[in-house]
Structure 1
């Protein structure tokens, strides 16, 4: 009998704590967040500290060379705020430029081309999160200090991270990428348990700690970013970096059976989850049975219909009109609901070219005052381009690959435009009182809205606690990392869903790949949940002063509290 190299068979109880909580994909990063909370920082302060620590400990998923989004719950006002920290295309990049260089729908950019680098938004997002939502008790330097110390002194690499580090290390070894060696040990990716140092990243963090956003978007770091992008054929300029701004967004939301679910609006894909929930609200999901064939079929079809619309319309709303109100209307959901036949799968409903998505980190933080921060940070495809600017210690994202190269599409590449974005944080509040119910998310390309729906319904419809909700096996339509014509016909099913269920899905017309396990479980994303308040899984259904938290077993992390 073959032994699963990762395991996924250990019991983990849901964490319950009183004063504060962090759930992330790395143990060390979760501990950093707890330390910041104990120093008097709030959820926003701790979230940025966790983001920096994850840049160090899980660079094959995230970093300051990528983008970030967050939702912040203010317990005093009971209001959910949104922050969009995604970057834009260089001012000199256009579809015409790409066409002249031979790139088009049939010949897309390589994953490590300089043109795929959009302006990194994370540094500005981190500073804006602290300035707008932070406690005011800690400085940026205080918040980044734990990651700086860990970068200088070294940290042991965790198991699943070591696997993904090795998988993406070919980008760091590219002969044009001379500073890719900064993220290797003697020319090789670090092994599980090996000590890794990154003094160049510590230097970058110190620049931001002392100079704020100017330390990243002007001066030495900005110059090195432009030089590195140019070496790989890109056109990013110092002006592009200096002009970057973070935007504060009014979150979009929908009421699912008295639970207000919040997402970041486009250019992000969070609207996909909300549209699917609107469709699903009209079904008696609980009566179908958890992860039954009928249940999974209904979720699959609702998500496929939602993806079809989002693929057609989602783009940078500052450049093109996105019909958000129509897409989120209950009437529109009712019309889409009629298309679902509980006996046979819909034909392929997703138009257009293939989009890509990949590894990310999602994490959640809550503090003793009842504030919460739902935060997500990403390089896009693993290490992104893998391009490392000299003396900086981080890789540059390749988020620009998610622009369309179809001149008629709203998401077509254009100067200073944000691309369709896959990374999405989420929150849940009580629809009538505004009380916080959950800060949660699931990372992983186009798996993300699918994970949001599945994990939420595990709790809402079936009474699973946050850890059980994350432990439960999932499906992934498309391929998780791609979406486009033909791709949504495929349904991957995780090990743990009964064989008779997958057989029934095949009879219904679904193209199913069953029993996916081991490291391949990464396809189904990695989530984190912090909940409080009146959920059915809470004894007495109402102890609102206690946090209930879970961390995805598909990653290296855990939920920590105090």
Structure 2
């Protein structure tokens, strides 16, 4: 079905030999340059991500984490990598209490886990790429050294964090030139980051986790009272993990397993499988079902999700059809559940998402994050590394599965997605937006499979999100507030205005019948999808 060309929006991006979709035009172009020069999808994804670590600094950086799903040669055997960082070896609730920490606050070293992204890039390139770090980091280094033009959505997020950045002298020096965010379209440079990226290009990930770069990062964090050591950084390693999946409308939907919240996206789809998808995809009745499914699944997330290496996570039960049926039965089509029922028990913030498909149909779903906009707002003085605040997802209650602990990974919101059917990859996809991402995955998949929307049209739809924590507050973008907002209030919800457009997203549909690629990229961000 063709879109309504009088109603604005974007057309699908189309290609045959390769395609990339990212949230920044310079990142998409970097990926296409790699593909057209002979690199594969993984090479292109890392190159694009590195560029975004420079040109979209509020969303991602080398001081953050990374997850990836890969479908080699376009097959249905999906490879998953967890590149999320771990808490320092000295980090325990008791030790933090000793030094007066009663809450994991954003702009403190205690929310900074050891960044996992750089190690993940190197490992994935070695195992699934064709190019070296030196080759794929060239464009990112050039932008950091020579400058890049500041894009509109990037600037909007930049301005929103001006007060945070001003509280850290190192971050303010780089990101508030002249005491304020740069102007739209002006050139911004990050010379220290360029030097750090060059060191990584020449010395690999060890140049980040050991030596002068690590010494500067650890010195910065420990100087602020952090518990990090050089040994914590030197021991940083990600890992290949067994991906998880569920069936939905005849397709397999794949996610990375916990500590990420991909399992919650699959839970929502399992619940939605009990409701027929038809009619208007934005009807109050349908959106009510999606919101209630999300509220129930997120309640389970907040009780059970943690690092499975350090706590028991009942993954099989969370993905069970019995649980999905139980939760589906709890949904009342006539009202919002308030309060939410108790979570059943088993019987025994900002981010960039990148997807690339190459001529051999290698499909990559890749996500990199520093969590909130500009992360912790803390910057290492000599390296230009802005630290994430992912440790803010930990809790300090030692009895909770997600309690902070030595070498433990926090519950993660960032999740890449992959769809397969009949032995082949069909759609690598991802949705950005912090806690929204699990609902965003389920919402996108349902709109594509239930309502037969193309990926761009599905991404363009207005969004809503029930705020986690059990309340009846539902964020709605303006278009929905005007159309379904009153109906939602009659159902018992409190409709609230989001701080910004909800999330972002990219997807590529692999059209095996015609041998083409169809890409979509979110208009809420600065990016695009491009194919050739």
TM-score normalised by length of structure 1: 0.90
Counterpart of 1:92 in structure 2 is 90
Counterpart of 2:508 in structure 1 is 530
Q: Distance in 2 between matches of 1:555 and 1:224?
A: 33
Contact (CA 8 Å) 1:15, 1:550: kept in 2 or not?
yes
Counterpart of 1:458 in structure 2 is 447
Q: 1:510 aligns with which of 464, 470, 493?
A: 493
Range moving further from structure 2, 499-508 or 455-464: 499-508
* Alignment pair present for 1:62 and 2:80: no
Shift of 1:526: 0.5
Q: 1:414 aligns with which of 381, 389, 405?
A: 405
Q: 1:39 aligns with which of 6, 27, 37?
A: 37
Counterpart of 2:346 in structure 1 is none
Q: 2:516 aligns with which of 546, 553, 557?
A: 546
Contact (CA 8 Å) 1:308, 1:350: kept in 2 or not?
no
Counterpart of 1:490 in structure 2 is 473
Contact (CA 8 Å) 1:152, 1:202: kept in 2 or not?
yes
Q: Distance in 2 between matches of 1:139 and 1:172?
A: 34
Contact (CA 8 Å) 2:472, 2:492: kept in 1 or not?
no
Counterpart of 1:252 in structure 2 is 244
Counterpart of 1:283 in structure 2 is 275
Report the CA distance shift for 1:156/1:302 in structure 2 as closer, same or farther (over 3 A).
Answer: same
Deviations 1:12-32 (A, max 9, x none): 111111111111111111100
Shift of 1:390: 2.3
Contact (CA 8 Å) 1:26, 1:557: kept in 2 or not?
yes
Deviations 1:28-54 (A, max 9, x none): 111001001111111111110011100
Shift of 1:194: 0.5
Q: Distance in 1 between matches of 2:426 and 2:260?
A: 23
Structure 2 residue matching 1:338: 3-state secondary structure: helix
- How many residues end up aligned between the 2 structures? 521
Q: Distance in 2 between matches of 1:152 and 1:272?
A: 40
Shift of 1:99: 1.7
> Which consecutive segments of 4 or more residues in structure 1 shift more than 4 A?
none
Contact (CA 8 Å) 2:243, 2:254: kept in 1 or not?
yes
Contact (CA 8 Å) 1:374, 1:426: kept in 2 or not?
yes
Structure 1 residue ranges without an equivalent (≥5): 1-8, 353-357, 535-541
Counterpart of 1:237 in structure 2 is 229
Shift of 1:391: 2.2
Shift of 1:221: 0.6
Q: 2:135 aligns with which of 142, 145, 158?
A: 142
Counterpart of 1:271 in structure 2 is 263
Counterpart of 1:377 in structure 2 is 368
* Structure 1 residues 229-378: aligned runs within 5 Å: 229-287=221-279, 289-349=280-340, 358-378=349-369
Shift of 1:498: 6.6
Structure 2 residue matching 1:286: 3-state secondary structure: coil
Q: Distance in 1 between matches of 2:489 and 2:472?
A: 11
Structure 1 residue matching 2:317: 3-state secondary structure: helix
Counterpart of 1:435 in structure 2 is 424
Q: Distance in 2 between matches of 1:197 and 1:499?
A: 41
Report the CA distance shift for 1:179/1:460 in structure 2 as closer, same or farther (over 3 A).
Answer: closer
Shift of 1:233: 1.7
Structure 2 residue ranges without an equivalent (≥5): 1-6, 344-348
Q: Distance in 2 between matches of 1:499 and 1:144?
A: 45
Structure 2 residue matching 1:496: 3-state secondary structure: helix
* Structure 1 residues 12-23: aligned runs within 5 Å: 12-23=10-21
